[in-house]
Structure 1
Amino acid sequence: MAEAKAAALLAREDGGAAAEGSGRGGGATWAQTLGNVVVSIVGTGVLGLPYAFRAAGWLAGTLGVAAAGCATLYCMLLLVECRDKLEEEETEEPCDVLYTYGDLGQKCFGTIGRCSTEILIFLSQAGGSVAYLIFIAQNLHSMLTQFMSPDGFIFAVLLPMQIALSFVRSLSSLSPFSIFADACNVLAMAIVIKEDIRLFDHPFADRSAFNGLWAIPFSFGVALFCFEGFSMTLALEASMAERKKFKWVLSQALVCIMFVYACFGVCGYLAYGEATKDIVTLNLPNSWSSSAVKIGLCIALAFTFPVMMHPIHEIVEARIRSSQCFQKFSQNVGGPNWLALHASRIMVVTILAVVASYVPAFGAFIAFVGSTVCALLAFVLPTTFHLSIVGSSMSLWRRLLDYGFLLFGLVFAVYGTFTAL
């Protein structure tokens, strides 16, 4: 899933975002940036799209994907415009670090703005991590039904493994698994489409085009979850050698992704109809090719789970280190209390495993995360920052457009949450 690339979201302090710690631009070409955009956005969330199309109808689902993609693109460009405006207003010698998402929150609303942004990123990462566990457990259960339930796989297999991997602090040692996961995602989509085409000789009389207005927020929420690489926008823009071309590159990438998402969702729903499951790989027959894809996805995601958890652990450990009790204890023992930090990692992973065991359905869960946290990150914060930083120099229609997106984000978060629940 794309969330695995988000370890750099809070990276201003630790230099995790490669380009953001090295000056006013990176060395990535437009082609490399295009690939990075696709890798940052496309993930296993796309495997829930056919189920969203089943809930909304193939036409409503397509419109939902298109609307989510266009709205996300617009708000991504708002963030870039905010940073450009701040750079223009710098009167002193330029700083060595480009503004990050959290920095924009700090610039607009001080500590509260940064904290709110980090909390939303934290919740987004936590939601993605839970989705990882659900996805892996359900796919393992589909292949090994006779051994244990999905919850059994979470606690007996995944939890001990992830606790052990949580002590790996070097992200570079896990990066090959992220690439492997992306390759498995592409392979899984290809095999699903192949199976879809094989089933196209079946009648499509029961495939609904539109299932009512209530289903559109659900499909929009799932689609928004699939575009969740949103918070990587500034890091990706900073990585380009020719940053002025980023808007064009981003637009091309989003248009292509929207087309692929719509085709994948329509094909999956038309192939399986009302039998479409919330993880479409569960619809695949028990052949060697589909089993190989499931196993590859499970292995890759199990090893990229620690990458997903990295910003969560950083936020938790930063709060522990800043606490007076921890500082006093560290002084008494002559150094940092690594036991407390490791214990916090075990506790966080265990809590997420418990949450995953109580989630009733993958499709509903990613719609819930997309409708709440992702909507706030993608629409509410960017428009708020844009109005605060650029608002005075904008035309009336641009301000009205921003206010429209802001209101839409708030209303959608409320109504979309109700629909998903």
Structure 2
Amino acid sequence: MLPWLDACRESMDMLKGTSSFGDYRSNDDEASLGKPLIPDTTLDEEAPVSALSASLQKASFHGSMPSMKKCSFTQALVNGINVLTGIGLLTTPYAVKEGGWMSLTLLMMFAVIACYTGILLKRCLESSPGLQTYPDIGHAAFGVPGRLIIAVTLYAELYAGCVEFVIIISDNLSTIFPNTSIHIAGIYLNAHQIFAIIGILIVLPTVWLRDLSLLSYLSVGGVGASIFVVLCLLWVGAVDQIGFHRTGTALNLASLPISVGIYSFCYAGHSVFPNIYSSMKEPSLFPLVLIVSFIFCWFICTGAAISGFLIFGDSVQSQFTLNMPIKFAASKIAVWTVVIITISKYALTLTPVAMSLEELVPSTWSRSYGVSVLIRTALVISTLVVAMAVPFFASLMALAGSLLTVLITIIFPCACYLSILGHRLTNMQMAVCICISILGFFIACDGTYSAVIRIAGQR
């Protein structure tokens, strides 16, 4: 069990190197913890694979690595922005439709709370020089059970992200080729099912790879891709003359929990924050990295939410790219950008989960490439099965956001902070943490229940 827990550190470093459309850790080499997103050396020199294995979006292929240089402020900032600007961006207009215009205040509120809890993780790391990753913090706070619970939650969030990736590929390709269908041995497959299978066939070989450096190149462009897709959305509304229209309600309490889950998913980055902090040349600047990263994420998500809902109104779908008329060049470019970035991120996201399972296999087997291929293939097929069984992108995001992201972003940081540093805190500091934890608990319960009911109704 302990080797599996150590693999979590490798996975975290991987997440630092992933793109913005996904949301997302450590090799036995401690040097991987300092690996910057914008490296001073080439990607080949950095061995991105071992970064992947390091922590939650990490993967650890046990090999030697050169010593890594520490991240500058700029590199750490790009890491933070890259981690935060995720697939939740595509769904923010739908969240406005569900919760109403006033629900956007929650997007800002979550940004403030998530930024604060990110600083709490920094303070936990400072409590002991041996702490470097999120599971390390859990271990310091609650022992091996704490490390295990946090690690499992982080891997579950990664797995959920991979399921969302399959749905994104399926939904967006179906908009380009809507009339695709096939009959095989009496079985009918529609466009969504066909492209889900095609997407899995494309990403499967990338999951088998030991060297993910090429995918790392693509994933690093995720922030730019996110901005580019939003610009395509604005182009469709303004230049292609679809126009912006006043619509929507002020507040819809009945569907507000769905919006809450989606908004919380937009800030799913805490799994990697400890690794970014540990990798910085000047850790004292980490709070500034968080503040700027959250402001950027809030700004682009709010811009996409307002623009998308003004353009498409109540007809907006779970991903605004599905509403963009495919006859326009900007729409095609946006859809293909989303698909390509998503495909490039799949292997980077799933590899840490695969490596954690490989650590459970007897050592004589785990060294076998064939065993690794079988485990990874089974994982990939399982994400396809889940995506085809529950192809509801927004509802799944609301479920993952309400349950997993709220735990990782709100509840766990406060609980660990109180456990590790509670004896040093003032009554006010303790009260703030307790209040945030209680708020997170109610959000998790209400949002999870609402998302489950929504999914059951859609099925």
The answer to whether the 8 Å contact 1:197/1:267 transfers is no
3-state SS, counterpart of residue 360 of structure 2: helix
Q: Which amino acid is the alignment partner of residue 317 of structure 2?
A: K
2:13–2:35 contact (8 Å) kept in structure 1: no
CA distance in 1, matches of 2:168, 2:88: 9
8 Å Cα contact 2:167-2:387 kept in structure 1:
yes
State the shift of 1:4 in Å. 7.7
Q: Is the 8 A contact 1:27 1:240 kept in 2?
A: yes
Q: Work out whether residues 76 and 233 of structure 1, in 8 Å CA contact, stay in contact via their aligned partners in 2.
A: yes
After superposition, the C-alpha distances for 1:33-60 in whole angstroms (9 at most, x for unaligned) are 2222111110232010000001011222
2:428 aligned with 1:397, yes or no? Answer: yes
Q: Secondary structure at the match of 2:251?
A: coil
Task: Verify: 1:150 aligned to 2:165, yes or no.
Answer: no
Q: Which moved more, 1:365-374 or 1:299-308?
A: 299-308
Counterpart Cα distance in 1 of 2:15 and 2:238: 32
* Aligned partners of 1:101 and 1:234 also within 8 Å: yes
SS of structure 2 residue aligned to 1:229 = coil
Amino acid at match of 2:152: I
| Structure having the larger proportion of residues in helix | 1
Shift of 1:411: 1.8
Shift of 1:361: 1.8
Once residues 3 and 275 of structure 1 are traced to their aligned partners in structure 2, the CA distance between those partners, rounded to angstroms, is 39
**Could you say what secondary structure the match of 2:442 adopts?**
helix
**Residue of structure 2 in register with 1:75 after alignment:** 117
CA contact (8 A) 1:3 1:308 kept: no
1:34 to 50, 59, 77: 77
Of 143-152 and 5-14, more deviation after overlay is shown by 5-14
Q: Which residue of 1 aligns with 2:359?
A: 318
CA distance in 2, matches of 1:28, 1:3: 12
Counterpart Cα distance in 1 of 2:415 and 2:27: 21
The answer to whether the Cα contact below 8 Å between 1:3 and 1:229 also exists between their aligned partners in 2 is no
CA 269–4 in structure 1, closer or farther in 2 if over 3 Å, else same: farther
Distance 2:116 2:124 in 1: 13
CA separation in 1, counterparts of 2:221 and 2:234?
A: 20
Corresponding residue SS for 1:228: coil
Preserved CA contact (<8 Å) 1:65 1:219: no
The answer to whether 1:252 aligns with 2:292 is: yes
Distance 1:172 1:143 in 2: 30
Select which of 18, 23, 26 maps to 1:11: 26
Superposed CA RMSD in Å reads: 2.6
| Paired residue secondary structure (1:303) | helix
Q: 2:330 aligned with 1:289, yes or no?
A: yes
CA 1:86/1:304 → structure 2, altered by over 3 Å: closer, same or farther?
A: same
Residue equivalent to 2:140: 107
Residues 101, 248 of structure 2: 8 Å contact kept: yes
The aligned runs of 1:337-356 (5 Å cut-off) are 337-356=368-387
- 2-side partners of 1:162 and 1:102: how far apart? 29
Higher relative contact order structure (alpha carbons within 8 Å, sequence separation ≥ 6) = 1
- Alignment of 1:376 with 2:407, yes or no, is yes
* 1:166 counterpart residue number: 207
In structure 2, give the amino acid aligned to 1:152: I
Quick check: 1:82–1:385 contact (8 Å CA) kept in 2? Answer: yes
Give me the TM-score of the superposition, normalised by structure 2: 0.81
Separation in structure 1 between the aligned mates of residue 379 and residue 331 of structure 2, nearest angstrom:
33
Shift of the 202–125 alpha-carbon distance from structure 1 to 2, 3 Å rule, reads closer
| Residue in structure 2 matching 1:54, options 97, 100, 105 | 97
- Tell me, in whole angstroms, the C-alpha distance in 2 between the residues paired with 1:259 and 1:187: 14
Secondary structure of the residue aligned to 1:113 is helix
Between 1:259-268 and 1:384-393, the stretch displaced more is 259-268
**Could you tell me how far 1:373 is from its partner in structure 2?**
0.5
Equivalences for residues 174-189 of structure 1 within 5 A: 174-189=215-230
Residue 60 of structure 2 corresponds to none
Counterpart AA for 1:188: V
Instruction: Output the amino acid matched with 1:112.
Output: P
Q: Which amino acid aligns with 1:38?
A: I
Where does residue 398 of structure 2 map in the other structure?
367
1:223 counterpart = 2:263? yes
The answer to whether the Cα contact below 8 Å between 1:126 and 1:309 also exists between their aligned partners in 2 is yes
Give the AA of the match of 1:404.
C
- Most deviating of 5-14 and 183-192: 5-14
1:19 shift after superposition:
4.6
State the distance in 2 between where 1:123 and 1:167 align.
Answer: 20
Counterpart code for 1:114: R
Q: CA deviation at 1:64?
A: 1.5
Give the aligned partner of residue 123 of structure 1. 156
TM-score of the aligned structures, taking structure 1 as reference length: 0.87
Aligned residues: 397
Q: 1:180: how far off?
A: 3.8
Q: Distance in 2 between matches of 1:402 and 1:342?
A: 44
The CA distance in 2 between the partners of 1:18 and 1:256, in whole Å, is 24
Conservation of the 8 A alpha-carbon contact between 1:46 and 1:261: yes
Letter in 1 for 2:282: E
Kindly provide the CA deviation profile for residues 100-128 of structure 1, in whole angstroms up to 9, marking residues without a partner as x.
11111112222211111110011100111
Work out the CA distance in 2 between the residues paired with 1:410 and 1:142: 38
Cα 1:399–1:299 shift into 2, 3 Å: same
Q: CA offset at residue 196 of structure 1? A: 3.4
Which residue of 1 is the match for residue 450 of structure 2? 419
- Alignment match, 2:21: none
Q: 1:202 to 1:406 in 2, by over 3 A?
A: closer
Q: Partner amino acid for 1:71? A: I
State the 1:14 CA deviation.
4.9
Once the 2 structures are TM-superposed, how far is the Cα of residue 27 of structure 1 from its aligned partner? 3.0
Aligned with 1:230: secondary structure?
Answer: coil
Of residues 267-276 and 385-394 in structure 1, the stretch that sits farther from structure 2 once superposed is 267-276
Please state if 1:272 is matched with 2:300: no
Asked if structure 1 preserves the Cα contact closer than 8 Å seen for 2:15 and 2:25, the reply is: no
The 8 Å contact of residues 14 and 25 in structure 2, kept in 1 or not, is answered as: no
Q: Which runs of 5+ in 1 are unaligned?
A: 88-94
